Structure 1
Amino acid sequence: MPSGLFDLWRRLAAITVTLLIAAAWAPAAAHAGPAAARHDVITWGASADRMGDAVPDHSYRLIVHTSVGGDGLRIRLSNAFGDQPVTFDSAYAGLQREGAELVPGSNRHLTFGGARSVTVPAGDTTYSDPLPGRLPAATTLVVSLHTAQAAGTATGHSMAMQTSYAANGDHASEEGADNWTEQIGSWFYLDSVTVRTAAQTGAVVTLGDSITDGWQSTTDLDRRWPDYLSRRLQSAHDPSVKGVANEGISGNKVLADGAGQSALNRLERDVLSHPGVRTVFLFEGVNDIKAHTGVTAQDMIDGYRTISERAHAAGKCVVGATIAPFKGWSEWDPAAESVRLQVNEFIRDSGEFDAVTDFDRTLRSPYDHERILPFFDGGDHLHPNDKGMQAMADSVNVGDLSAC
């Protein structure tokens, strides 16, 4: 390349990087009117669970994709399942360039009550201080943490469907990738990101199992059905619901603990405790049914009613989604199918929910209503592929997300 052209290319590259940083961390605009005209809204979330042994003097570089944009970014660190305190002495938020490498100049340190270090007691959570500047919608955010002291049980989210990174020692402040050689498929300690935005803008939280968590969608491409829904919401003219938090856990059940606490037991922490939540989107139940533990349709209905009542009491809308077909999965049998049909009839016709999304009708084969349409089948006859995930998101009436 001629030297003149190379110099031009280098200047353009530098300008591009500068613009990226400026756009992502732009100073928040002045807002007229009272402070009540703005509030915090969750822009990303992942359900917390037990994650094996906690590791001291370890760094985590966690890649997450946000939904709604805003200023005053905050992260929430969770030690919900820890049996000992965890001390974080280094926490940063930056922008992904590629892999573990950050956009130069984008990595900014986070504080907690004005301090760089924070100790989260066992069973507790803590928020960072608001970070000045505005974060645009749909940003690939990188949160880097260092555990100065950690022991006992770690807290995190196991099946992220996203490559993140880990390293021994404290490398949270580094923007390069040299020390981040360990790839991980889980998120540790981070369970939400929030921003401050207009008071009329809220969020939907999707409460579900592995289908919501994204199993069988393509890793690192944000093709879970809540991701597709988020893209629809960011481009929608209605400003009322823009935030999306995915609170799915693979294997999760409505009624019984196991793969994570049950939906009933985690509703407060994983849904209602988050700021700016307008709507609870309930899509869960297939794991209760296929487990053959004697759970009846009435048991499921009672669980749904309890979740709906608690969410309504907290002032939230509730959207119920029908359970998708799963014939061909090893645990399917006519008895489980009978319970699924009864539960779906309740979801559609009971009036318990403010709105209903019929994922059953979206995903089922027109030739066999007990099976997923092969075009949408991820291969195991239970989990949709990318096309199925998109079809699910496209079937949601976005107006229903602010139906009350």
Structure 2
Amino acid sequence: MRAGHDHTRRVAAVILAALVTAVGVPLAAPAAQARPSVSAEARTPQDPAPAGRDRHFAVTWAASADRQGAGPADRSYRLVVRISAGGNALRIRLSNAFGDHPVTFASAYAGLRRQGAELIRGSNRRLTFAGQPSVTVPAGETILSDPLPGKLAAQSDLVISLYVTGAEGPTTGHGMAMQTSYATAGDHAAEEAATSWTDPISSWYWLDAVSVETSTAISSVVTLGDSITDGWASTSDANRRWPDYLARRLQAAPDSPVKGVANEGISGNKVLADGAGQAALRRLDRDVLSHPGVRTVLVLEGINDIKAHSGVTVDDLVAGYRELADRIHAAGKCVVGATVMPFKGWSEYDAAGEAVRQGVNDWIRHGGAFDAVVDLDRITRSPYDPQALLPFFDGGDHLHPNDKGMQAMADAVDLSALRCDR
């Protein structure tokens, strides 16, 4: 018996930097037990407080949910995400916010990626929901998993594998992941090999957040934005969106209590009007304020309102920014505003839109609604043509920064500005 225990400890040591299995702790109730549906308590998006007063949950990864195309039933999804902050007792949030029918997650697992769809051997562990191995989520609702015992290292490639049944009509997910995930027919969620995962996909489905338990001294920042925050024109499968660069900076900063980064960008999103996702004003509660452990919100939105030739004025956008700031402050969180970046050369550019951008940026810099300002316009514009992106940062369409531009944006954030005195 002692030899068996020694072997277990040696295996656990190999994966200690990521998930540490607690020997003998039951991970799920027997599969024969009844499958739960989501109770009113489970539907609450906020995490309950952990038992220790010096510990809390903090969001370490997120992707804004939106309405996606119809999803086939009896299908498994292997979703690859790079977390930011490390911690214990990971929890995932599954969303059916935009579905028209209930969806059943018949099994769910969390593991660590080795490469592609292959997981590190021994890392894939079952997730449960109110002690059960499966759960049915009604249309319009979300659910949190039970905490999974063990430690998750910062900057881990976490893999959530879901076996989904009963999916009808539109699904809920994040369309532009800039990350390859995988799908397959049937239930393969428990498998660690890549053999069955033959269908690469470029979106995240159902999964919209991951949180970990950490010290109450540690907190997270949410980046609320559009395609620039979503990472368009950055290199796929490389985690080079500007929030990714910011997460690496925060991990390397020993004096920063802000370690988690939740990327809530949606390509094409606007502050004021629905379209590509719900407007920032409509999705603020679900995509930002519902996450645990958030200390600060960094807002980079507005270019899609401006360039759409919709007649949006400076006053219109200022009113939208003020409402965002007021609601974030009312929730007890800091808010940092970012100036709107140049877009000369983009097909919708014109002098009227540029005048609105300049007026909006002047208000962001001097209006006083934000606790701090990141002047991304100044950082990314060309010194020879201030209405245009610096060519070295231009991803090719004169609107979206490339990898170097994304890194420059993250480097422009004063890390001390992410921890105001509220």
- For normalisation by structure 1, the TM-score amounts to 0.94
Q: Report the Cα distance in structure 2 between the residues aligned to 1:69 and 1:22, rounded to whole angstroms.
A: 12
Q: Deviations over 1:330-354 (max 9, x none)?
A: 0000000000000000000011100
Give aligned pairs, total: 386
Match of 1:230 in 2: 247
Question: Percent identical across equivalent pairs?
Answer: 66
Q: Deviations over 1:267-320 (max 9, x none)?
A: 000000000010010000000000011110100000000000000000010000
Task: Confirm or deny that 1:363 pairs with 2:380.
Answer: yes
TM-aligned CA deviation for residue 35 of structure 1: 1.2
The residue correspondences of 1:235-274 to structure 2 (distance < 5 A) are 235-274=252-291
Q: Report the Cα distance in structure 2 between the residues aligned to 1:261 and 1:20, rounded to whole angstroms.
A: 44
Match of 2:115 in 1: 98
Q: Report the Cα distance in structure 1 between the residues aligned to 2:283 and 2:139, rounded to whole angstroms.
A: 17
Q: Report the Cα distance in structure 2 between the residues aligned to 1:207 and 1:341, rounded to whole angstroms.
A: 21
The residue correspondences of 1:107-122 to structure 2 (distance < 5 A) are 107-122=124-139
Match of 2:20 in 1: 26
Q: Deviations over 1:14-44 (max 9, x none)?
A: x99864422211268xxxx971100000000
Q: Deviations over 1:74-114 (max 9, x none)?
A: 00000000011100011000000010000111000000000
Match of 1:319 in 2: 336
Q: Report the Cα distance in structure 2 between the residues aligned to 1:95 and 1:119, rounded to whole angstroms.
A: 25
Q: Report the Cα distance in structure 2 between the residues aligned to 1:373 and 1:187, rounded to whole angstroms.
A: 32
Q: Report the Cα distance in structure 1 between the residues aligned to 2:219 and 2:14, rounded to whole angstroms.
A: 26
Asked if the contact 2:256/2:416 (under 8 Å) is kept, the reply is no
TM-aligned CA deviation for residue 153 of structure 1: 1.1
Match of 1:203 in 2: 220
In structure 2, which of residues 366, 371, 395 is the aligned counterpart of residue 354 of structure 1?
A: 371
Match of 2:170 in 1: 153
Query: What is the SS of the residue equivalent to 1:312?
Result: helix
Letter of the structure 2 residue corresponding to residue 26 of structure 1: V
TM-aligned CA deviation for residue 162 of structure 1: 0.1
Letter of the structure 2 residue corresponding to residue 261 of structure 1: Q
Query: What is the SS of the residue equivalent to 2:16?
Result: helix
Match of 1:402 in 2: 419
Letter of the structure 1 residue corresponding to residue 118 of structure 2: E
In structure 1, which of residues 138, 146, 162 is the aligned counterpart of residue 179 of structure 2?
A: 162
Task: Confirm or deny that 1:128 pairs with 2:122.
Answer: no
Q: Report the Cα distance in structure 2 between the residues aligned to 1:20 and 1:362, rounded to whole angstroms.
A: 43
Query: What is the SS of the residue equivalent to 2:53?
Result: helix
Match of 2:236 in 1: 219
Asked if the contact 1:301/1:346 (under 8 Å) is kept, the reply is yes
In structure 2, which of residues 101, 105, 108 is the aligned counterpart of residue 88 of structure 1?
A: 105
The residue correspondences of 1:293-332 to structure 2 (distance < 5 A) are 293-332=310-349
Asked if the contact 2:12/2:20 (under 8 Å) is kept, the reply is no
Structure 1: stretches of 5+ with no match in the other structure: 1-14
Structure 1 segments of 4 or more deviating over 3 A?
15-20
Q: Report the Cα distance in structure 2 between the residues aligned to 1:34 and 1:152, rounded to whole angstroms.
A: 40
Query: What is the SS of the residue equivalent to 2:73?
Result: coil
Q: Report the Cα distance in structure 2 between the residues aligned to 1:239 and 1:296, rounded to whole angstroms.
A: 37
TM-aligned CA deviation for residue 54 of structure 1: 2.4
Query: What is the SS of the residue equivalent to 1:324?
Result: coil
C-alpha distance 270-133 of structure 1, shift in aligned 2 (>3 A): same
Structure 2: stretches of 5+ with no match in the other structure: 1-8, 23-49
Coordinate RMSD, CA, aligned? 1.4
Asked if the contact 1:200/1:239 (under 8 Å) is kept, the reply is no
Match of 2:210 in 1: 193
Asked if the contact 1:17/1:104 (under 8 Å) is kept, the reply is no
- For normalisation by structure 2, the TM-score amounts to 0.90
Q: Report the Cα distance in structure 1 between the residues aligned to 2:227 and 2:182, rounded to whole angstroms.
A: 22
Query: What is the SS of the residue equivalent to 1:36?
Result: coil
Letter of the structure 1 residue corresponding to residue 124 of structure 2: N
Query: What is the SS of the residue equivalent to 1:23?
Result: coil
